[in-house]
Each structure stands twice: as C-alpha cells, then as structure tokens.
Amino acid sequence: MIKGELGLGDERRLHRAVGTARMEIDAASKAIIEHLQQDGRRSYATIAESVGLTEEAVQHRVKQLVDAGVMQIVAVTDPLQLGFARQAMVGVIVEGELKPVAEAIAAVEEVDYVVITAGGFDILAEVVGQSDAHLLELVTSRIRPIPGVKSIHTFLYLELQKQTYSWGVHDPH
C-alpha cells in the first residue's frame, strides 16, 4: 500500500518504506494522536481543551496528520460480525522483485494488509473470506497465479486474542 495514496473505494492506503522522510510531530500533535487512539470520535473541542489549542487548530492539525499519512481515522470492524467467516495470514515467498508482487496482492479486494518483510517470508498479507471455499479460491486462483509468487503458506485464524491500535506515540527523548 502506498502512503497517502487513494485506492479503490477511496480508502486511504498507508505505505512507507523504511527510511523515508517523516513529518515532524510536536508534543501537541502527539497528544492529539493519543486522544484519537483512545477514542476516534472524541470531539475536537474536547481535545483542544486538553492540549491547550483552539478547536480550529486541532482540526487543522488532524487534517495535516491524515493528509501526510501519519494516521487514519476509521471504523475498525470485526470481519466475523460482517459475514466474513474466515481470516488468514498468507506468507508469500517471491522469486524476483518484491514490490510488484506486493502491489498485485494489495490490489486483491479481500486483502486488507500487506507488508514486505525480512525473514522466512518475503511478503505477509492478511485476507478475509466468506467461507473456506472463498478462501481457497482467493489463495489458489487469485494470489498464487501472480507472477513472481514462488510459494504460499496460509495461516488460518482460529481465534483473535488481541487487536489494538492504541500503542501511543513514540518519544525519542
């Protein structure tokens, strides 16, 4: 996924290669991010009061952070509640260039997460399917035939133990 790029359905796609330039984030912006990680629906007025800025300044900073790809404000759903009976992580070993394969996998509608990795797999992709048959079709007919895919290892999710997006903001000092 490409940082700041709009994808199908205008969803915000995040992707940043390690070592690329990052937006400078001051203490006030970090505080805004932490508030929104706790509650993405928190009002700008409430955040402004807490961080010592005007509501308009908070709104402007949030827009800058979203536009720069630093954060997204989205509804996180439970795929099982929405009719997707199967979730899996797919480990992909690639022959040749990684990026074109990662981009092709990211273009598959049922794929919601793609990362190029170091280690046993070149690419990890999270997929959601409506059934075992749908997952089988997705892996065998839509991902495996992508040029450059050498092998695929599928890890079916049995039970979600933890999923969080509130890891805070790193302070290097």
**Contact in structure between 86 and 131 (CB atoms under 8 Å):** yes
Percent pLDDT > 70 in the chain is 83
Residue 48, C-beta contacts closer than 8 angstroms, at least 6 positions apart: 54, 55, 57, 58
Verify that 48 and 15 share a domain, yes or no: yes
Confidence of residue 58 (pLDDT cuts 50, 70, 90): very high
| Residue 111: CATH number of its domain | 3.30.70.920
35 lies in a domain? yes
Please say whether the beta carbons of 35 and 100 come within 8 A: no
Q: Are residues 36 and 57 in the same domain?
A: yes
Closest CA to 67 of 146, 12, 7: 12
Residue in the structure block whose two tokens are 């330039």: 21
Residue 50 lies in a domain: yes
Residue 16, domain extent: 5-67
**Cα dihedral angle (14, 19, 23, 27), rounded to 10 degrees?**
110
* Residues contacting residue 162 through CB under 8 Å, at least 6 positions apart: none
**pLDDT digit string, tens, across residues 12-47:** 344 444 445 677 889 999 999 999 988 889 999 999
167 within domain boundaries: no
> To which H or E segment does residue 86 belong?
strand 86-94
At 55, is the pLDDT very low, low, confident or very high (cuts 50, 70, 90)? very high
Contact criterion met (CB below 8 Å) for 29 and 48: no
46 and 89 fall within a common domain: no
Q: How many distinct structural domains can be found in the chain?
A: 2
Query: Do 148 and 86 belong together in one domain?
Result: yes
In a domain, 33, yes or no: yes
Query: In this structure, are 83 and 17 located in the same domain?
Result: no
User: To the nearest whole percent, how much of the chain has pLDDT over 90?
Assistant: 62
51: which DSSP letter? H
CATH code: domain of residue 10: 1.10.10.10
26 assigned to some structural domain? yes
